[in-house]
Amino acid sequence: MGDDRCQTRCGYKEINFPFQLKNQPNEYRCRYPGLDVSCNNQTDTSIAFPSSGNFTAQIIGNVEQIIEIGDPNGCLAKRLLEGFDLSGTPFQTVYLQNFTLLNCSNDVPFWYPEFVTYISCLSSENNYTVAISLDRPDLFVPFSSCLEIATVSVSSLLNWEYLTDTMWLTWNEPDCKRCLKSGGVCKYNKNTGFDDGCSVDLDPGSSNLAKYFAIFLAVSVFFIVGLVICISRMKCCLHKWRNTNTETFTYGSTILQSNAVKKGLDQRVIEMYPTMVVGGSRELPNPNDSICSICLVEYETEDTLKTIPSCVHYFHANCVWMSGLNVMQPVLYVV
């Protein structure tokens, strides 16, 4: 979270320091250079890159300091071909992956392997375009007669072997991770300069931590009982899930098909999942997504939630950590 005086909103998204809407006054020094955003049509959050134009900000994870961006017209591949440049911004790439784009005539039989991405926005009646990861040279063989357009680099949150419609970026300054994870308010440290500060004492022996610990003890019994019930139900559901041969779901212009994976995600991956804090209005992107499907408790103001990027569902952050939530690893098939 940020200073309450700096909190604004674009649709359901809360905008906090170091981000700020361009049309807001900077009386309380709410914005950090390069982290201005715009609110289009009162719902769509947009961020401008000096050398690459405007992109939509799908998710802003202030706690993890990651942002998911996409093309407003839904054709990220085209924007990458035009050139994507982070110079003049505070952003860096997360996990850089390289893909080769191939233009194929309809005379070339289309093959449906895993991890070959069909790019509908760059295809026509006579030709189609696919993207193949350079980490999978074996997938190029069936497309040997296709014309190579270019190789593009994409910043991903995880090591996906297919090209998605969005990419992830991070920033180092200002560094608010420790402050926000401790429940503090991140802001400028002084009235001048760009040094960041935190409104709470981060000393482990401070009274604030003692207060939080007392609150934790007061609700721990209720939480543990709910968690035991939740885990019991999850084991039953996961058992049925693992016995299912295959599940499919759509992702943009593709179909993702997945076999159940019997192991959970590691700590590093879960830490990078976007975190949000429920605001005073308790408004979420999906109005029906108001109850944590792990502990079955309704979200309250100031609850910390985790988002699963592949499905954009919310869960209590603590529930994700303690239940060992299993996530299916997607395998791409193209239609």
Residue with tokens 């022996």: 205
At 111, give phi and psi (nearest 5°): -105, 145
283-299 pLDDT, tens digit per residue, is 776 777 788 888 888 88
18-52 pLDDT, tens digit per residue, is 999 988 877 778 888 889 999 988 788 999 999 99
pTM for this one? 0.59
Percent of the chain with pLDDT over 90: 35
**DSSP states of 56-74 as a string?**
EEEEEETTTTEEEEE-TTS
Predicted local confidence at residue 85, as pLDDT: 94
Contact 82, 106 (CB under 8 A): no
Predicted local confidence at residue 256, as pLDDT: 38
Mean pLDDT of the chain: 78
**Which of 107-111, 117-121, 260-264, 303-307 shows the lowest per-residue confidence on average (mean pLDDT)?**
260-264
d(CA 50, CA 34): 9
Homologous superfamily in CATH for domain 267-323: Zinc/RING finger domain, C3HC4 (zinc finger) (3.30.40.10)
Domain ranges of the chain: 267-323
Contact 94, 69 (CB under 8 A): no
Contact 222, 295 (CB under 8 A): no
| pLDDT at 204 exceeding the cut of 90 | no
Residue with tokens 């110079």: 87
Residue 235: count of CB within 10 angstroms of its CB: 11
> Mean of the pLDDT values across residues 88-99?
94
Predicted local confidence at residue 37, as pLDDT: 94
Q: How confident is the model at residue 109 (pLDDT cuts 50, 70, 90)?
A: confident
45-69 pLDDT, tens digit per residue, is 999 999 999 999 999 999 999 999 9
